[in-house]
Structure 1
């Protein structure tokens, strides 16, 4: 039997987004929305923005920082991405910020684990929980079981998966250039 730990055990911070729509602007601070998160990545090619005042309201619970993971709560449920270096942003609606405890969990290991069939199956247990769309509730999210191995092995697994992901991204870029 494999050892597991919950999100609550692995993360220093599990912060739900404000349950409000930001004031949209044509420039300013980046707001990450559900449609920006796909296949384990955050796509900044079509960013949304808000002003400083509304940005500050949206980061009251926690200021997102590089290496933090964002998971969508609905529409779609269970998509994840990691905030890259040098990006100042806040969360839109229907998402949660996860910050790992670096003493026991590698953030890339958690990112890849959240995309695994094992964890996505647990997330799917939230199907049918909302009145119009399914919703990953915070208590359920915090209790998701993540396969646990020692930190050194987590880093090794994450390093291999990150290398594969970088090759996939490079191949996608090459394919897009060839198609252009």
Structure 2
């Protein structure tokens, strides 16, 4: 898990100002399931910074998917859990391009304003997830409503800073995986050396 303390000078912008946002399909799709076709992304497939589909990913029939072409994901889209582990997010890569989400929150970042991997990293912080849980609704299942997500404020440094931060966090995540998720602590001095002049402090724990 990541903990960010963002520098006071960074611009603060509502998520609605940094890209296009929409909700994935919310309709009965079971009858359109197939063994091949258009990949379906469910909330349970979204993990911290990645997708995990298991041994049997679900696909949608070509004709049904084509009727919903406007909902297809593009590379760089950030997909966020709407129901369940709310706030958890991952970025669409070539492997998931043109997939369709089922009741997921989709953010298509404006690349002139925000980097997809940086936004994803921020959405996966404890700070954001705790906020998402605090405003979520639902009986038995936690729901992150789109209207509440619209109120999210995102710290926005320069694109160059965003890319450095996202790259550093991705490297730390890989390090944790290689060490089988043994506790890793990154102190402020090592972070500052890796990101000169970036007032970013975070700690990575199991």
TM-score by length of 2: 0.73
1:146 aligns with 2:154: yes
Shift in CA distance, 87/93, structure 1 to aligned 2, threshold 3 Å: closer
If you compute each CA radius of gyration, which structure gives the higher value, 1 or 2?
2
1:81 aligns with 2:103: no
C-alpha separation in 2, matches of 1:171 and 1:117: 22
RMSD: 2.1
Asked if structure 2 preserves the Cα contact closer than 8 Å seen for 1:21 and 1:93, the reply is no
TM-score by length of 1: 0.83
2:128 matched residue in structure 1: 119
1:24 aligns with 2:65: no
Shift in CA distance, 26/101, structure 1 to aligned 2, threshold 3 Å: same
1:161 aligns with 2:169: yes
Structure 1, unaligned runs of 5 or more: 173-180
Render the CA deviation track for 1:108-148: whole Å, top value 9, x for unaligned. Answer: 11000001122112211223x22452211112112211222
Structure 2, unaligned runs of 5 or more: 1-6, 181-206
